[in-house]
Structure 1
């Protein structure tokens, strides 16, 4: 771990930033900046960031807070575009390093829900036209690819969502 990443992890910088934003009326502009910050971190980092809970936990909290981005509110289009771009990057990172996948399930459980947040957030965007819809579909394809060799993802999709109505044989 490099010096900057060590500082971010030890001092909990990402969580502090997220919590500070919540206390300051978490506007779409604040969400946009944090989404872009994570996009930049994921694309520029030469180290595996997602293995560090002090980075992953606030990321998941941010993603949860953006869950209603597609509601059409003012600035919602920008938030949803950045959200889907980040989700696409995260799915790409999972495809490259599937060992991180387990952390996404653990983080979701820490937040009180035993679900796969990345999958749930992508579903509402799959039928949109343009780049947002295409990125959502591409990210979902990456998750489907993961489900072929990760039973936990496959089980989540078949048992906990209406995305794949497949009955399981006993």
Structure 2
């Protein structure tokens, strides 16, 4: 073989293969299409939607499962007295166990902007854990005077049962350490 046969003219070769090169570049630039609908969603939006579908469970087991489900919540209520605002606090605070109730202790968010805003606007904290009130309506008498008297007597009892701030601080520090 001579030297002329070994050499290739690059411009002629590229122009001859121009169509093939463009096709290859296009195929590389395009991402593969996702065939399934759930694959088209980004990862943070994907959910296992069929896991909790009750239609998949046999009819025989449905009553039993419902009873188990309700017992779970009943048992939780036996262990702790929850504040009326428990769900709101549970989303935003670390909770601790004090006085047989779950109380907010520390905010989950690390920013201090909230503190500065609360200095201007003020803030509210639920202290219903300090005293428990139970009001039972007198069904037999149905007189307003009797109901008012029972409320007043309960208020007096509740004032006696309030928690001292020193006692509260002691329990808080003992739980933390």
Point out the structure with the larger strand share. Answer: 2
Higher relative contact order (CA 8 A, sep 6+): 1
- Report which of the two structures shows the higher radius of gyration computed on alpha carbons: 2
Normalising by the residue count of structure 2, what TM-score does the alignment of the two structures yield? 0.21
